[in-house]
Chains A and B, each alone.
Chain A
Amino acid sequence: MRSITYRDALKEALIEEMERDEAVFLMGEDIAEYGGAYKVTDGLFKQFGKDRIRNTPISEAAIIGTALGAAVTGMRPVAELMYIDFTAVGMDQIVNQVAKIRYMVGGQLDVPLVIRTQGGAGRSSAAQHAQSLEAWFVHIPGLLVVMPSTPYDAKGLLKTAIRSDNPIMFIEHKLLYTEEGEIPDDEYTIPLGEAEVKREGEDITILATSRMVLKALAAADELADEGISAEIVDPRTLMPLDKDTIYNSVKKTNRLLIAHEAVGRAGFGAEIAALVVREAFDYLDAPIERVAAAPVPVPFAPVMENFVIPDTPQIVEAARKLVRYEI
């Protein structure tokens, strides 16, 4: 094992898969000499050349549409959209073309396409560079959605995503790039649809995604000091979703708190809550609670941004309430 950043884990996955398969290539805005807005592809053009590390115009719809055309004709593109907020610019291509083409043509075409993008708040990036929009894509049949929270998951899941014949929204978090974590020296992959219990516990399940996993783990430390044992479940892939791991955890702890950085209203947590109510209703000893962003655009001022985006104390407080809840 060795320690590596989330950024370098992603980069290693890209390098290994490009070395392994000539059909893999990258395209996106400023991914070559500039190295990508968050430097994930830094230096790759020197190793692979600019035919395989392709700078594009700032044309999100054309980036996705062109990547799709390449994907259905024998290539395995990894297209980068610099910010998840910009998916809105290319949304027809993602929703009406990428997600639909296999089905519309009766399964004739595989779509081995990864759309790498990143979201999340915490850098005063304001309303157009800090959203968490994963629920949009989970809602669209035909897409898969991956949201890694650790370097280990980032590398293993990106390698799997590149090898998949399905179109995948691979959503990173801008504040995770410098986070470090252990990964094996040998090659590994992580299957899609396998959640991971990041910390075992007995009293409450906290289901968290992306950077909220880190905040949930910090909350679990604080809760432990109070004698509350929290289990942290990270679905890692929102579609396909490992429902069994979630149900089993709730059946053990009898309480569920969902923490994500997206706005709560019609967010991914609402889907989880509905599933758990149906599958584990008799096991619940308290209502399901959600910790999520306030339903406002992400503000610029750090003091306001911190107020809007959920943090560790909010998770601790919500967990406490659920554990103390009496029927």
Chain B
Amino acid sequence: MSKPSKEQMLFMYRKMVEIRQFEEAAGTLYQSGQLPGFLHLYIGEEATAVGVCAHLKDDDYITSTHRGHGHLIAKGGKRDRMMAELFARTTGYCKGKGGSMHIADKETGILGANGVVGAGIPLAAGAALSAKIRGTNQIAVSFFGDGATNQGVFHETLNLAAVWELPVVFVCENNRFGMGTPQHEHQRVEDISVRAPAYDIPGVTVDGNDVLKVYAEAHEAVVRAREGGGPTLLNCDTYRFRGHHIGDPGTSYRDREEVQEQERQRDPIRRLAQVLTEDEGVTQEDLETLEAELANELEEALEFAKNSPEPLPEDALEDVYADEIQP
């Protein structure tokens, strides 16, 4: 089992807090009517993105989902430019053309959040194919949810990636609900990693709310991909603390007590804080100082976003094609 150093643990703590703060701020802004569009929060699932991305290099690739903010921050996306995109400003990663569900950053290998469930899975395989042909030693990671594992493209891509032995890690975040449908109503399997043997690739399930366990299993999968061992299906059992999106209280299809129990018992940030303070000699004060520092940074990101210019209406006509072809 690969165990992170204290510095790596603190780095992962920082990243999870960055995500939690970003999501809480975005939720508040959305509810006060300051953000257009949809908003799907990652609160409660931070350990999966952070535990996996901790192993990735800047030029490795990820593809993400409609619930993508956590993956992007974990991979190196900047909160100021992400927030600017949520505010639909020109300084946002997509210049206001994508919004929450489509943030991408070429520089950090983020090939995009995605509005279609499962659709990013073959993109990651393609990036892995590209890396393999170019011989660059890069790998690709695709994040997707339990709902996506019922899409045809999930099965098509796992099969193709297995046949071609692509350097890709398929990370399923089983947060127990496909929108509002509980897992037992949308698939017979409970442990999604059992789908891996169908494609003759390794499959493993881990507690997705324990960042140290995610880190350890992701290490195996990432090393396997990088060393030419082909794809892995890494299934992370997690839980969505909030509704499907802002506007869904998330209580019509599950008990409020169940959510509260998950929050009490399985908060990934609190669990890592416990390890850091009990085993690693970090004080509660140290963590609070770090959180305050990150909160200030988020305030600056918010100011940056709010003070950035809005696009011009006719900017809508640009970026459809390369080579000056007019839409």
Residues of A whose CB lies within 8 Å of any CB of B are 25, 51-52, 54, 56-57, 59, 61-62, 64-75, 92-93, 96-97, 101-111, 141-142, 144, 164-166, 192-193, 240
A contact residues around B43 at 8 Å (CB): none
A280 to B299, CA, bound (A): 58
A64 to B105, CA, bound (A): 22
B contact residues around A64 at 8 Å (CB): 122
A165 to B123, CA, bound (A): 17
A37 to chain B minimum Cβ distance, whole angstroms, is 19
**Contact mask B78-95 → A, CB, 8 Å, 1/0?**
000000000000001111
Are B128 and A109 neighbours in the complex by a CB distance under 8 Å?
A: no
Are B134 and A105 neighbours in the complex by a CB distance under 8 Å?
A: no
Say yes or no: is B189 at the interface (Cβ < 8 Å to chain A).
no
Task: Determine which residue in B92, B125, B134, B319 has the highest number of CB atoms from chain A within 10 A of its CB, and name it.
Answer: B319
A56 to B157, CA, bound (A): 11
- Stretch in contact with the other chain, from B6-14, B30-38, B109-117, B250-258: B109-117
B contact residues around A68 at 8 Å (CB): 122-123, 126
B125 to chain A minimum Cβ distance, whole angstroms, is 5
Are B157 and A66 neighbours in the complex by a CB distance under 8 Å?
A: yes
A contact residues around B121 at 8 Å (CB): 65
Are A96 and B119 neighbours in the complex by a CB distance under 8 Å?
A: yes
B contact residues around A144 at 8 Å (CB): 321, 325
From residue 92 to 112 of chain B, which have CB atoms closer than 8 A to chain A? 92-98, 102-106, 111-112
A193 to B116, CA, bound (A): 32
Residues of B whose CB lies within 8 Å of any CB of A are 61, 63, 92-98, 102-106, 111-112, 114-116, 119, 121-131, 133-134, 140, 152-153, 156-157, 159-160, 163-164, 318-323, 325-327
Q: Which of B140, B164, B319 contacts A107 (CB 8 A)?
A: B319
A166 to B319, CA, bound (A): 11
Are B124 and A69 neighbours in the complex by a CB distance under 8 Å?
A: yes
Task: Determine which residue in A57, A67, A106, A107 has the highest number of CB atoms from chain B within 10 A of its CB, and name it.
Answer: A106
Closest 4 CB pairs of A and B: A69-B126, A65-B122, A107-B319, A62-B156
Q: A66-B122, A69-B124 are in contact. Are A166 and B116 (CB under 8 A)?
A: no
Are B126 and A240 neighbours in the complex by a CB distance under 8 Å?
A: no
Are A73 and B126 neighbours in the complex by a CB distance under 8 Å?
A: yes
Are B112 and A104 neighbours in the complex by a CB distance under 8 Å?
A: yes
A-B contact pairs, 22 of them (CB 8 A): A57-B156, A57-B159, A65-B119, A66-B157, A69-B126, A69-B128, A70-B127, A70-B129, A73-B130, A97-B116, A102-B319, A103-B319, A105-B103, A105-B104, A106-B319, A107-B319, A111-B322, A142-B321, A164-B322, A164-B323, A165-B322, A193-B325
Are A106 and B122 neighbours in the complex by a CB distance under 8 Å?
A: no
Are A141 and B156 neighbours in the complex by a CB distance under 8 Å?
A: no
Are A96 and B157 neighbours in the complex by a CB distance under 8 Å?
A: no
Task: Determine which residue in A51, A66, A111 has the highest number of CB atoms from chain B within 10 A of its CB, and name it.
Answer: A66
A contact residues around B126 at 8 Å (CB): 65-73
Q: Chain B: which residue is nearest A54 at the CB level? A: B164
Number of A-B contacts (CB under 8 A): 155
Are B160 and A66 neighbours in the complex by a CB distance under 8 Å?
A: yes
B157 to chain A minimum Cβ distance, whole angstroms, is 5
Are B130 and A105 neighbours in the complex by a CB distance under 8 Å?
A: no
Task: Determine which residue in B121, B156, B326 has the highest number of CB atoms from chain A within 10 A of its CB, and name it.
Answer: B156
Are A108 and B104 neighbours in the complex by a CB distance under 8 Å?
A: yes
Are B153 and A166 neighbours in the complex by a CB distance under 8 Å?
A: no
Q: Which of A52, A61, A97 contacts B152 (CB 8 A)?
A: A61
New A-B contacts (6) at CB < 8 Å, excluding given A51-B133, A104-B112: A65-B119, A69-B126, A70-B133, A71-B126, A73-B131, A105-B93
Q: A73-B126, A106-B93 are in contact. Are A97 and B119 (CB under 8 A)?
A: yes
Q: Chain B: which residue is nearest A97 at the CB level? A: B119
A contact residues around B320 at 8 Å (CB): 102-103, 141-142
Are B159 and A96 neighbours in the complex by a CB distance under 8 Å?
A: no
Are B323 and A69 neighbours in the complex by a CB distance under 8 Å?
A: no
Q: Which of B124, B130, B323 contacts A75 (CB 8 A)?
A: B130
A contact residues around B160 at 8 Å (CB): 56-57, 59, 62, 66
Are B116 and A96 neighbours in the complex by a CB distance under 8 Å?
A: yes
A111 to B131, CA, bound (A): 16
B contact residues around A25 at 8 Å (CB): 133
A157 to chain B minimum Cβ distance, whole angstroms, is 15
A contact residues around B116 at 8 Å (CB): 92, 96-97
Are B325 and A106 neighbours in the complex by a CB distance under 8 Å?
A: no
Q: Which of A96, A103, A240 contacts B325 (CB 8 A)?
A: A240
A123 to B302, CA, bound (A): 62
A148 to B129, CA, bound (A): 30
Are A107 and B106 neighbours in the complex by a CB distance under 8 Å?
A: no
A61 to B159, CA, bound (A): 12
A70 to B322, CA, bound (A): 17
Q: A69-B127, A92-B119, A110-B322 are in contact. Are A104 and B97 (CB under 8 A)?
A: yes
A contact residues around B102 at 8 Å (CB): 104-105
Q: Which of A62, A72, A97, A108 contacts B157 (CB 8 A)?
A: A62
Q: Which of B63, B98, B156, B322 contacts A104 (CB 8 A)?
A: B98
Q: Which of A65, A73, A106 contacts B95 (CB 8 A)?
A: A106
Are A73 and B127 neighbours in the complex by a CB distance under 8 Å?
A: yes
Q: A106-B94, A108-B104 are in contact. Are A96 and B322 (CB under 8 A)?
A: no
Q: Chain B: which residue is nearest A143 at the CB level? A: B321
A94 to chain B minimum Cβ distance, whole angstroms, is 11
Q: Which of B93, B115, B318, B321 contacts A166 (CB 8 A)?
A: B321
B contact residues around A240 at 8 Å (CB): 325-326
Are A66 and B95 neighbours in the complex by a CB distance under 8 Å?
A: no
A159 to B153, CA, bound (A): 30
Q: Chain A: which residue is nearest B105 at the CB level? A: A108
A56 to B162, CA, bound (A): 12
A75 to B133, CA, bound (A): 9
